[in-house]
């Protein structure tokens, strides 16, 4: 039975990590792209697949799997192809620590800043009532709260400053790790590198004040090596807008208009 | 050789202790008094600079993060398995562990701290801790301590209640499908949820009741009676570890 992936453009964060894990393993799959800007992930057809209304969802053997990090480990265990987790047990534990940190700490700091910048712009054409009624349909309470806070610009300057502090601290940690080993979790490429690309590396283009040749040379070198990987090239080729998240393009266009 | 630095056997410390006991592994346990800030001082600060507890040391290598450490123990000592063999069932275990790490751990810990902070940290000890906070706790950890010492706000506690209720409903639904959370065998998923759910009956208000969640309640009792679990829960200093609390881990900051 065919493998299907429900995901969003841009190919970043949770959609990106699963998409890239499939490409790195060489698993053929059907692309089921949902339009986040049209809120397709809140339609009943998709809620039947994931009642929480979040992407990605992977369909394998006719049944759905959700949650980015557990899906990635599933992909490594359920399909052939090169291993995406280190063989050494402590290294594997270290990899899981990085994946978790990138997903729920550093990645969320990036996301908080990103959403606050773009959400008002990309829903701007709709009336306030329409946007609020769409947000009220988001099933997950935390996600709903994040949408509302970004749309109403309720995030405080202190919270945003704390996110910037975390990105700076995280950038230092990542740079140190990449000074010790060629890949984030050790000598071997792993899911930690996939997550670093998906949750963080786009800052080099998007927020170069954090990630640049002078401040984070090892990270820039790692990005160069990642971009040469056949699976990452394939990811870029399949992504409609490879340079910057499209929602950001739109926000930038709106801001400069 | 295995060593575990752990706090009172609740939450994440209980998760790893239960796995060690279920697998009948020999290990040296070191009790860490979290409210005395021992996790931020040597020897622990050299093993886990951010004050993570518990810390597993295996042949000299330190590992942190309860889910990752439980999986490490499973991979290193596969006898008496606590992970299913099928990829989909293993995904299910990991999804539960993630739910505990992301949602349940902070929610239950906030409610427990609200209920037991005063008992766990009487005024003289509290004054001493406040005096030492600046000097001993790493800068990025201080806000979490200060928030706990000030007491969690109403909105945060209401959110914690809602999260716990949602999890109770999910557990009840899962136990309608199978004997254990991830299928026919007891697994790391049960260990992870149990280590926090064990707080709930005494905290009240969480709908873990005979009428609303009979399966979850029976499941909780069955796990409490496992010899390995009894052994793990006896490794603290408190008579009832689930009537003590420490400041909650940070909630995920953005949805």
CATH of the domain at A66: 3.40.30.10
Task: Find out whether B242 and B201 touch, Cβ atoms under 8 Å.
Answer: no
With contacts defined as CB-CB under 8 Å, which chain B residues touch A115?
Answer: 254
Query: A13, A46, A78 — which closes off a domain?
Result: A78
* Contact map slice: A 13-52 vs B, CB within 8 A: none
CB contact under 8 A, B254 and A146: yes
With contacts defined as CB-CB under 8 Å, which chain B residues touch A91?
Answer: none
The confidence score (pLDDT) of residue A136 equals 93
Token representation of residue A246: 């499209």
- Confidence bin at A254 (pLDDT 50/70/90): very low
Q: How far apart are CA B2 and CA B57, in angstroms?
A: 6
Residue B255, chain A, CB below 8 Å: the answer is: yes
Q: How far apart are CA B95 and CA B60, in angstroms?
A: 30
Residue A83 lies in a domain: no
- Percent of all residues in chain A with a pLDDT value above 70, rounded to a whole number: 91
With contacts defined as CB-CB under 8 Å, which chain A residues touch B69?
Answer: 93
Residue A63, chain B, CB below 8 Å: the answer is: yes
CB contact under 8 A, A65 and B65: no
Residue A12 lies in a domain: yes
Residues A16 and A116 in one domain: no
Residue B75, chain A, CB below 8 Å: the answer is: yes
The confidence score (pLDDT) of residue A242 equals 45
The confidence score (pLDDT) of residue B13 equals 98
- Percent of all residues in chain B with a pLDDT value above 70, rounded to a whole number: 99
The confidence score (pLDDT) of residue B209 equals 87
Question: Which of B181, B203, B198, B210 has the alpha carbon at shortest distance from B15?
Answer: B198
- B97 Cα distance to chain centroid: 11
Mean pLDDT for the stretch of residues B14-41: 98
Alpha helical stretches, state H, chain A: 13-25, 44-47, 68-78, 89-101, 107-122, 128-135, 141-151, 157-180, 191-199, 203-206, 217-228, 230-238, 246-256
With contacts defined as CB-CB under 8 Å, which chain A residues touch B64?
Answer: 97
Residue A196 lies in a domain: yes
Residues A168 and A118 in one domain: yes
Residues A121 and A70 in one domain: no
The confidence score (pLDDT) of residue A97 equals 98
Q: How far apart are CA B54 and CA A237, in angstroms?
A: 44
Residue A248 pLDDT more than 70?
Answer: no
Mean pLDDT for the stretch of residues A85-94: 97
The model's pLDDT over B81-122, given as tens digits with 9 standing for 90+, comes to 999 999 999 999 999 999 999 999 999 999 999 999 999 999
Mean pLDDT for the stretch of residues A23-45: 92
- Our CA-based measurement puts residue B238 at a distance from the nearest CA of chain A, in whole angstroms, of 30
Query: A58, A78, A98 — which closes off a domain?
Result: A78
Residues A38 and A63 in one domain: yes
Residue A109 pLDDT more than 90?
Answer: yes
Q: How far apart are CA B98 and CA A218, in angstroms?
A: 30
Residue B162, chain A, CB below 8 Å: the answer is: yes
* CB burial of residue A192 (10 Å; 0-12, 13-18, 19+): buried
Q: Closest partner residue to A70 among B76, B94, B255, by Cβ?
A: B94
Q: How many domains does chain A have?
A: 2
Query: A56, A78, A100 — which closes off a domain?
Result: A78
Residues of chain B with CATH 1.20.1050.10: 87-226
Residues A71 and A105 in one domain: no
The confidence score (pLDDT) of residue B225 equals 98
Helix, strand, coil % (nearest 5) of chain B? 60, 5, 35
- Percent of all residues in chain A with a pLDDT value above 90, rounded to a whole number: 76
Residues A49 and A116 in one domain: no
State which residue of chain A sits closest to B75, comparing Cα positions. A89
Residue A58 pLDDT more than 70?
Answer: yes
Residues A100 and A133 in one domain: yes
Mean of pLDDT over chain B: 96
Residues A33 and A67 in one domain: yes
Q: How far apart are CA A50 and CA A34, in angstroms?
A: 13
* Contact map slice: B 81-110 vs A, CB within 8 A: 87-88, 90-91, 94-95, 98, 101-102
CATH of B2-76, one of 3.20.20.140, 3.40.30.10, 3.90.1170.30, 3.40.50.2300: 3.40.30.10
Mean pLDDT for the stretch of residues B57-68: 97
Residue that the structure tokens 């005494």 belong to? B202
State which residue of chain B sits closest to A159, comparing Cα positions. B253
The confidence score (pLDDT) of residue A12 equals 76
Q: Is B81 helix (H, G, I), strand (E, B) or coil?
A: coil
ipTM associated with this complex:
0.97
- Percent of all residues in chain B with a pLDDT value above 90, rounded to a whole number: 96
- Confidence bin at B206 (pLDDT 50/70/90): low
The hierarchical CATH code for the domain B87-226 is: 1.20.1050.10
With contacts defined as CB-CB under 8 Å, which chain B residues touch A108?
Answer: 252-254
State which residue of chain B sits closest to A68, comparing Cα positions. B95
Q: What are phi and psi of B6, to 5 degrees?
A: -140, 160
Q: How many pairs of residues across A and B have Cβ atoms under 8 Å apart?
A: 87
The per-residue b/e assignment along A116-135, b for 16 or more CB within 10 angstroms, e otherwise, is bbbbbbbbeeeeeeebeeeb
Residue B255 pLDDT more than 90?
Answer: no
Q: Closest partner residue to B252 among A71, A89, A108, by Cβ?
A: A108
Residue A107 lies in a domain: yes
Q: How far apart are CA B164 and CA B106, in angstroms?
A: 10
- Confidence bin at A241 (pLDDT 50/70/90): low
CB contact under 8 A, A93 and B72: yes
Q: Closest partner residue to B98 among A67, A77, A111, by Cβ?
A: A67
The confidence score (pLDDT) of residue A55 equals 95
Token representation of residue B62: 């330190």
| The overall pTM is greater than 0.80 | yes
Range of the domain at A247: 89-256
Q: Closest partner residue to A73 among B75, B94, B162, by Cβ?
A: B94
DSSP run (H or E) holding B186: none
With contacts defined as CB-CB under 8 Å, which chain A residues touch B58?
Answer: 89-90
The confidence score (pLDDT) of residue A252 equals 44
CB contact under 8 A, B67 and A96: yes
Residues A93 and A213 in one domain: yes
CB contact under 8 A, B75 and A92: yes
Q: How far apart are CA B234 and CA A81, in angstroms?
A: 45
With contacts defined as CB-CB under 8 Å, which chain B residues touch A88?
Answer: none
CB contact under 8 A, A96 and B95: no
Mean of pLDDT over chain A: 91
Task: Find out whether A108 and A210 touch, Cβ atoms under 8 Å.
Answer: no
Name which of A28-37, A217-226, B31-40, B46-55 the model is least confident about.
Answer: A28-37
């Amino acid at each position: 039975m065919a493998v299907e992936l429900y995901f969003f453009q841009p190919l970043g964060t949770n959609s990106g990590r699963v998409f890239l894990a499939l490409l790195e393993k060489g698993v053929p799959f059907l692309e089921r792209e949902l339009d986040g800007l049209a809120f397709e992930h809140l339609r009943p057809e998709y809620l039947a697949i994931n009642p929480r209304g979040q992407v990605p969802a992977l369909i394998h053997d006719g049944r759905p799997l959700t949650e980015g990090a557990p899906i990635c480990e599933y992909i490594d265990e359920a399909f052939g192809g090169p291993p995406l987790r280190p063989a050494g047990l402590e290294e594997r534990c270290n990899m899981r620590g990085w994946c978790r940190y990138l997903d729920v700490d550093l990645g969320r700091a990036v996301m908080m800043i990103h959403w606050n910048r773009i959400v008002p712009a990309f829903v701007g054409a709709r009336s306030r009532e329409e946007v609020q009624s769409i947000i009220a349909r988001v099933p997950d309470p935390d996600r709903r709260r994040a949408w509302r806070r970004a749309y109403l610009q309720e995030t405080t300057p202190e919270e945003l400053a704390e996110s910037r502090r975390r990105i700076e601290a995280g950038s230092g940690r990542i740079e140190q790790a990449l000074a010790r080993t060629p890949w984030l979790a050790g000598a071997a490429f792993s899911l930690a590198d996939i997550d670093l690309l998906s949750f963080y590396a786009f800052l080099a283009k998007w927020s170069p004040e954090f990630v640049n040749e002078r401040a984070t040379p090892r990270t820039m070198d790692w990005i160069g090596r990642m971009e040469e990987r056949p699976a990452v090239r394939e990811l870029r080729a399949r992504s409609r807008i490879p340079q910057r998240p499209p929602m950001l393009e739109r926000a930038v266009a709106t801001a400069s208009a | 050789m295995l060593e575990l630095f752990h706090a009172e056997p609740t939450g994440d410390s209980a998760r790893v202790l239960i796995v060690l006991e279920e697998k009948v592994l020999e290990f040296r346990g070191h009790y860490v008094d979290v409210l005395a800030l021992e996790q931020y001082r040597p020897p622990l600060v050299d093993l886990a600079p951010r004050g993570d507890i518990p810390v597993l040391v295996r042949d000299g290598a330190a590992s942190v993060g309860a889910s990752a450490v439980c999986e490490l123990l499973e991979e290193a000592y596969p006898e008496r398995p606590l992970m299913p063999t099928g990829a989909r069932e293993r995904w299910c275990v990991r999804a539960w562990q993630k739910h505990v790490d992301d949602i349940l751990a902070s929610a239950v810990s906030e409610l427990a701290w609200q209920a037991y902070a005063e008992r766990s940290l009487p005024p003289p000890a509290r004054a001493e801790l406040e005096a030492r906070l600046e000097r001993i706790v790493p800068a990025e950890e201080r806000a979490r301590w200060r928030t706990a010492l000030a007491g969690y706000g109403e909105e945060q506690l209401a959110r914690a209640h809602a999260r716990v209720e949602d999890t109770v409903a999910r557990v009840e639904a899962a136990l309608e499908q199978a004997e254990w959370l991830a299928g026919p065998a007891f697994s790391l998923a049960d260990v992870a949820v149990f280590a926090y759910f064990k707080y709930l009956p005494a905290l009240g208000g969480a709908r873990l009741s005979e009428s609303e969640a009979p399966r979850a309640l029976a499941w909780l009792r069955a796990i409490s009676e496992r010899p390995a679990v009894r052994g793990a829960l006896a490794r603290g200093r408190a008579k009832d570890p689930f009537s003590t609390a420490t400041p909650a881990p940070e909630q995920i900051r953005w949805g």
